[in-house]
Structure 1
Amino acid sequence: MEKNKIIKTIYTLIILILFGIVFFIGMFFPSNLKVNSFKESTKISHAQKIIGSEANKEGVIPTLYISGSGGNVSPLNSLLGGIFPNIDPKNDCLTIQVNITNHDKLTVSGNINPDDKSPIIEFATVKGTDKGELYSRAIKVAIRYLVTHYNYTEINIVGFSSGGTGAIYYMIDNESNKSLPKVDKFISLDGEYNSEGQLQFGESLQSVIANGPILKTPMYRYIAKNYRKINPSTEIYFMEGNCNFYKQTDGAVSWADTFSIYHLLVENKNVVSMYLYPTKYSHGNIPKEPLVQNYIKKIIY
């Protein structure tokens, strides 16, 4: 028994070393990252919100930051505060909340700078929402609002926790809808795609990444059945925090869960990257992690 425990520990170390190499390469040699001139993260606008069906300006691609099941955008404020230290999310971002328990009631606040080529939109729905189909519906309501008022034709998405689940469901459910903007890049921040499923007996993280999980929850099965509906030109980045080394989790979502659909999207011909990053933060505080903030800045801005 002791010998098996030692072998398991050594094997886990090897996996982490391999992820460390991927992390190092992604950090310093991001071959798959299409960085848009890597401009300084010093957004300052405090502009009035522009409402109206004016033509979308060429080259404007907003980023929709989707919060998790907490029901508010506080985690997103922490995330954006690290990416852009000089912005005030209440004044420099548009915040959209969709109440799925009250006929998808839409609440909008904040501002978008009309001269900004990469506007920031924060999104949340009601507390406790962790089902992909509910998130998908709410995200569609928010994006329809953006299309109606700003005529966006492309969009980036950052999905945190259950927000990542919702984003994947949204892309599956709506990719064929040409009235909605194309998703250019999607970043999964400690996202959940197999209902917090952990490694099973005889299973390794490496085998999950290559072939998918042994335990397949309804959430995973839905994605596995429909992943080919996702636009293969969408760039996808999976990020997962290494908070608990021995249990291979960020404190809530297992590594085997967040990386469970990696092989499906590779098969779909998407450009897909994985980042397992060292962190002292557990799941709920991951948006405060500087490594996370730096990655998102590189990928999108």
Structure 2
Amino acid sequence: MAWRIRQLIDGWVILVAALWGVNRPVSAHAAPNLSALQPTLFFHGSDSSYRAEIHMVGAIKHAGLSNKRSVIRANVAGNGKVRLIGKLTKRTKNPIVEVNYLRSSYKADKTWGRWAKNVVVKLQKTYHFKRLNLVGHSMGNTAILYYLVHNARNRHLPQVMKQVALGGHCDGVLGEGDYPHRLKLARSGRPNYITASYRYLLALRKCYPRSAAVLNIYGDLKNGTDSDGRVSNASSRSLRYLVVRAHRYRDRQVVGARAQHSRLHNNAQVDRLLMRFLWPKR
């Protein structure tokens, strides 16, 4: 009798173990090693989100330079913690990362620069990238530049190959230290008026990565202000003085109503300039 009971117990144990094995959660496969690929990270402006990047990313996909499965999002929480939304595979083509600051206020530029590093580290640990491109609109450029001030010499991080600045305000915005026609640039590119932020970024002149090529796109409404309505062209072009170590630098001006500061990331001309710079062989 005892033997019979023992048989029944053993049978139940085997059955339960089998059912648990069938229904237990399956751990996710390890992310593929995509170290040979070069992702492009998009950083949006203040009081905004990844949605400001959708038009440019859509244009890239429409041109066949990337695809839906190659686009993921990096959500950055208010404490700087990063969560990746979506997964890249071995079939990924020109991976794109839409950086999304959930607390979309750039009142602490240095903090957002540190969080940019958190994004890069998360991507590196997940996909083992060795090189990357950085694209910023408006204050997104500031996040990128602060990141570079502190990490350009860090050989343990992916190497920056290309940087695109869109509507950048390196030396102030209109009404806050920068006024139409007040800011002037010397032949070297150095501005005659230097804000506290620009002074801090001067460190880039000694540490900016020599590997990087830079494309600086700025808008001009052609209404006499020499600006995109928010940032003077001189403030945007003052980037050149900061990235003097870059092996290549280009300024590109866009004009018209679509050149307004908040419309630059929804501009077909900007799309073309961006794609030709990032992926010239297509």
Same fold (TM over 0.5): yes
CA distance in 2, matches of 1:79, 1:269: 24
Checking the alignment, whether the CA contact within 8 Å between 2:34 and 2:90 is kept in structure 1 is no
The amino acid across from 2:33 in the alignment is A
Note the 1:1-12 alignment, pairs <5 A: none
Q: Does 1:220 align with 2:202?
A: no
The 8 Å contact of residues 199 and 256 in structure 1, kept in 2 or not, is answered as no
- Deviation of residue 135 (structure 1)? 2.0
Contact 2:163 2:214 in 1 (8 A): yes
1:107 aligns with 2:83: yes
CA contact (8 A) 1:51 1:150 kept: no
Listed as ranges, the matches of 1:133-212 within 5 Å are: 133-196=110-173, 197-198=177-178, 204=184, 207-208=185-186, 210-212=188-190
Using the alignment, how far apart are the partners of 1:202 and 1:251 within structure 2? Answer: 15
For 2:236 and 2:111, the matched residues in 1 are separated by 19
Normalised by the size of structure 2, how large is the TM-score? 0.79
SS in 2 for 1:210: coil
Aligned pairs for 1:202-281 (under 5 A) are 204=184, 207-208=185-186, 210-266=188-244, 268-281=245-258
1:55 aligns with 2:7: no
Find the aligned partners of 1:234 and 1:80 in 2 and give their Cα distance: 21
Q: What TM-score, normalized by structure 1, do the two folds share?
A: 0.74
Aligned to 1:284: 262
Identity of aligned residues (%): 22
Change (3 A) 1:225 1:278: same
Structure 2 distance, partners of 1:244, 1:227, is 31
Deviation, 1:57, is: 4.5
Cα RMSD for the two superposed structures = 2.5
Give the Cα separation in 1 of the matches to 2:29 and 2:149: 29
Deviations 1:25-65 (A, max 9, x none): xxxxxxxxxxxxxxxxxxxxxxxxx963543343x111001
1:43 is aligned to none
Alignment-derived partner of residue 99 in structure 2? 123
| Distance 1:254-1:53 versus aligned 2 partners, 3 A rule | same
CA contact (8 A) 1:251 1:283 kept: yes
Give, in angstroms, the shift of residue 110 of structure 1.
Answer: 2.6
Instruction: Check conservation: 1:65, 1:158, Cα contact below 8 A.
Output: yes
Q: What is the one-letter code of the residue matched to 1:107?
A: R
Aligned to 1:300: 278
Would the aligned equivalents of 2:220 and 2:227 in 1 still touch at CA under 8 Å?
Answer: yes
Larger RCO (CA under 8 A, 6+ residues apart): 1
**Does the 8 Å contact 1:66/1:123 carry over to 2?**
yes
Do the aligned partners of residues 51 and 184 (structure 1) sit closer, same or farther apart at CA in structure 2, a change above 3 Å counting?
A: farther
Letter matched to residue 224 of structure 2: Y
2:74 aligned residue: 96
Q: Which structure is larger by alpha-carbon Rg, 1 or 2?
A: 2
Alignment partner of 1:84: what SS?
helix
Aligned length: 246
Q: Which amino acid aligns with 1:61?
A: Q
